[in-house]
Amino acid sequence: MKLDSKSPSGPLQEKWERYRLEMKLVNPANKRKFDVIVVGSGLAGASAAASLAELGYNVKCFCFHDSPRRAHSIAAQGGINAAKNYQNDGDSVYRLFYDTIKGGDFRAREANVYRLAQVSVNIIDQCVAQGVPFAREYGGSLANRSFGGAQVSRTFYARGQTGQQLLIGAYQALERQIGLGRCQMFPMTEMLDVVVVDGQAKGIVTRNLATGEIASHAADAVVLATGGYGNVFYLSTNARGCNVTATFRAFKKGAAFANPCYTQIHPTCIPVSGEHQSKLTLMSESLRNDGRVWVPKKKGDTRLPYQIPEAERDYYLERKYPSYGNLAPRDIASRAAKEVCDEGRGVGPGGKGVYLDFADAINRVGEEAIRERYDNLFEMYERITGESGYKTPMRIYPAVHYTMGGTWVDYNLMSTLPSLFVIGEANFSDHGANRLGASALMQGLADGYFVLPNTLGNFFASSKQAKIATSHPEFRKTEEEVKTRLHKLLSIRGKRTVSSFHRELGKLMWEKCGMARNEKGLAEAVARIPALRQEFWENVNVLGNGGELNQSLEHAGRVADFMEFAELLCLDALTRAESCGGHFREEFQTEDGEALRNDEQFSFVSAWEYQGPDKPPLLHKEPLVYEEVKMAQRSYR
């Protein structure tokens, strides 16, 4: 396997424009001759499917939800970044680029990140034109707020429902194409494998989740927009259905998996409340614009928050990082919360929580102004905890939230499996080892609306496409493999539920490869996962049959993939003997507990190649060459 990033040459600022000029185009009349499969209808998938259909390609779009509107993207709360500089506070494309590279702890590809910052401004125009109701100032201009890792206000938002509003925009565009007959939508249809013919991705095999029917779909290119894999940890802020199946099956068919160990732990989530909880809830980072994070100075202080005087509170983010304060990036804020809780200064049950306090902001701007900015988030918090964030500080704790790792893609967003493109959270993306808040929506929509529609056309125009039909034997073979696996899962009839295996795997992952990792724990996880996987395949109990709606079977297939993928994730974490961003190895830290990178040995993207069921995956390295930015120890002090 050869990794070629295909980053264009020339000055950073001109790369994308020049590349677009040099790209070959597909004649409008010829576009309808190309079939494209898009798997996923979240922000990345819906925007890509709509844009490609609008251009004239024949598109088929798949999702496992009953409507494209139910994709996990709908949960996104706080906002979307763009370098518009509406606030005149010093923002620019270059600053957004630099903040993203630095925020990712210098582990992202320069050319991609610069393009992302450039395209960010077009996204806002596109969404406004669609009617996305972004918050506005009194005079009508779009409002902004700040997010972590930036000293400018560049985040566009629609209260605490930005993802929902953006998805309605993309969904409308998609529906229009469905109405025009250019895009065919397949809801409740799960992709279970990629079909490879002559070394190219030429289609997929799916299962209809309502009827159990296994079917094949052929295309000239396959696009995966299937989201992130945070649920390998069982408990996360992701929607329950988020999984790694599509990208992991693609991995087994030749698409390298990049940086699987880069997972993001978000500092502001509602703390875990019990053993049988199946989901965690995010409290948007936007709340840190007005909320102040603190814990008592004294260990084991059980007084109620209002009983603790100012002088006895530790606003630890403001103390440690005076220039960014409560808006320190997520990896740093999460570790700082863990540190104070480990010291015995955490609050709430089990001492696993810190306060997010709005009292100062309410005194300053009034409760009404805070309601206007975040009311749905406060309401959500109250429904879950029974406490009002207006009256008492919220309690928060870090939780798994986002995955920076994903399928390795080049500058064209194509994987190492030719004609397989991967976009949105599913690819290894532009965020390096840590994503800045409000940048996932930006990347998903950049990929779907602006990057892929260009690069896919260039791919079609510059390579010869053999038309493959689903009658090709490779489709039959892949269908048989899919059916055998489903049959196997259904025939075990063991004694443990799918959830119990998922929970055990997640606990192991959180303990050994969570907010902090070390060599011993990772080696232990790598050794324990195969045993758990074996037990799964011998003792899992999947009820029902395959010819009907069977959520136990769906879950079992996804957990089976997590069982294999978890080992790859831990292996990647073990191999990366440095700390960077969301990957914090306890052995590698500065004297004051910050991540200590090793640029000399680890300034590369890890891209893992599948070698077969009984062989360890092979590590390939894409060197990260910084021509524009000088790598430095990250500082937010």
Ligand X SMILES: Cc1cc2nc3c(=O)[nH]c(=O)nc-3n(C[C@H](O)[C@H](O)[C@H](O)COP(=O)(O)OP(=O)(O)OC[C@H]3O[C@@H](n4cnc5c(N)ncnc54)[C@H](O)[C@@H]3O)c2cc1C
- Measured CA to CA, the distance from residue 110 to residue 631 in angstroms comes to 12
- Measured CA to CA, the distance from residue 117 to residue 5 in angstroms comes to 18
Give the residue from 258, 207, 242 showing the smallest Cα distance to 40: 242
Specify the DSSP class assigned to residue 344.
T
Asked if 43 is part of the footprint of ligand X (rule: CB under 6 A), the reply reads: yes
Among the candidate windows 27-35, 337-345, 423-431, 542-550, which touches ligand X by CB under 6 A? Answer: 423-431
**Size of site (CB under 6 A) for ligand X:** 46
- Measured CA to CA, the distance from residue 635 to residue 321 in angstroms comes to 9
> Smallest gap, in angstroms, from Cβ of residue 587 to ligand X?
30
Binding residue (CB under 6 A) for ligand X from 5, 19, 45, 620 = 45
* 209 to 228: interface string for ligand X, x by CB under 6 A: ----------------xxxx
Q: Which is nearer to ligand X, 203 or 444 (CB)?
A: 444
Binding residue (CB under 6 A) for ligand X from 441, 452, 513, 580 = 441
> Smallest gap, in angstroms, from Cβ of residue 442 to ligand X?
6
Q: In the block, which residue shows the tokens 């959180």?
A: 510
Asked if 64 is part of the footprint of ligand X (rule: CB under 6 A), the reply reads: yes
Q: Which is nearer to ligand X, 35 or 425 (CB)?
A: 425
Asked if 554 is part of the footprint of ligand X (rule: CB under 6 A), the reply reads: no
Q: Which is nearer to ligand X, 444 or 453 (CB)?
A: 444
* 454 to 493: interface string for ligand X, x by CB under 6 A: ----------------------------------------
3-state secondary structure 275-334: CCCCCCCECCHHHHHCCEEEEECCCCCCCCHHHCCHHHEECHHHHHCCCCHHHCCHHHHH
- Measured CA to CA, the distance from residue 630 to residue 259 in angstroms comes to 22
92-104 burial, b for 16+ CB within 10 Å, e for fewer? ebebbbbbbbbbb
Asked if 190 is part of the footprint of ligand X (rule: CB under 6 A), the reply reads: yes
- Measured CA to CA, the distance from residue 74 to residue 259 in angstroms comes to 26
Q: Is 62:204 a contact under the CB 8 Å cutoff?
A: yes
Q: Is 183:53 a contact under the CB 8 Å cutoff?
A: yes
Which SS3 state, helix, strand or coil, does residue 416 take? coil
Which SS3 state, helix, strand or coil, does residue 66 take? coil
Give the residue from 483, 534, 570 showing the smallest Cα distance to 206: 483
Q: Report residue 213 CA to chain centroid gap.
A: 30
Binding residue (CB under 6 A) for ligand X from 5, 7, 51, 73 = 73
- Give, as ranges, the residues between 283 and 342 that touch ligand X (CB under 6 A): 284
- Give, as ranges, the residues between 380 and 409 that touch ligand X (CB under 6 A): 401-402
Q: Residue 166: is it exposed, middle or buried by C-beta count within 10 angstroms (0-12/13-18/19+)?
A: buried
> Smallest gap, in angstroms, from Cβ of residue 451 to ligand X?
13
Q: Which is nearer to ligand X, 12 or 201 (CB)?
A: 201
Asked if 267 is part of the footprint of ligand X (rule: CB under 6 A), the reply reads: no
Among the candidate windows 69-77, 289-297, 312-320, 473-481, which touches ligand X by CB under 6 A? Answer: 69-77
Specify the DSSP class assigned to residue 38.
E
What is the DSSP annotation of 152-195? S--EE-STT-HHHHHHHHHHHHHHHHHHTTSEEEETTEEEEEEE
Asked if 345 is part of the footprint of ligand X (rule: CB under 6 A), the reply reads: no
Binding residue (CB under 6 A) for ligand X from 12, 15, 42, 332 = 42
| Rg of the chain taking only CA atoms, in angstroms | 24
Asked if 40 is part of the footprint of ligand X (rule: CB under 6 A), the reply reads: yes
Q: Give the E-state strand segments of 353-393 in sequence order.
A: 354-357
Angle at 74 between CA 70 and CA 79, to 5 degrees: 170
> Smallest gap, in angstroms, from Cβ of residue 98 to ligand X?
18
The residue type at 281 = T
> Smallest gap, in angstroms, from Cβ of residue 186 to ligand X?
8
Asked if 246 is part of the footprint of ligand X (rule: CB under 6 A), the reply reads: yes
Asked if 71 is part of the footprint of ligand X (rule: CB under 6 A), the reply reads: yes
With CB atoms as reference, the residue minimizing the distance to ligand X is: 42
Asked if 194 is part of the footprint of ligand X (rule: CB under 6 A), the reply reads: no
Among the candidate windows 236-244, 300-308, 595-603, 604-612, which touches ligand X by CB under 6 A? Answer: 236-244
Asked if 193 is part of the footprint of ligand X (rule: CB under 6 A), the reply reads: no
Q: Which is nearer to ligand X, 328 or 522 (CB)?
A: 328
> Smallest gap, in angstroms, from Cβ of residue 401 to ligand X?
6
> Smallest gap, in angstroms, from Cβ of residue 180 to ligand X?
21
Which chain residues interact with ligand X by CB under 6 A? Answer: 39-45, 62-65, 71-73, 75-80, 162-163, 190-191, 225-228, 237-238, 242-243, 245-246, 282, 284, 401-402, 424-426, 438-441, 444
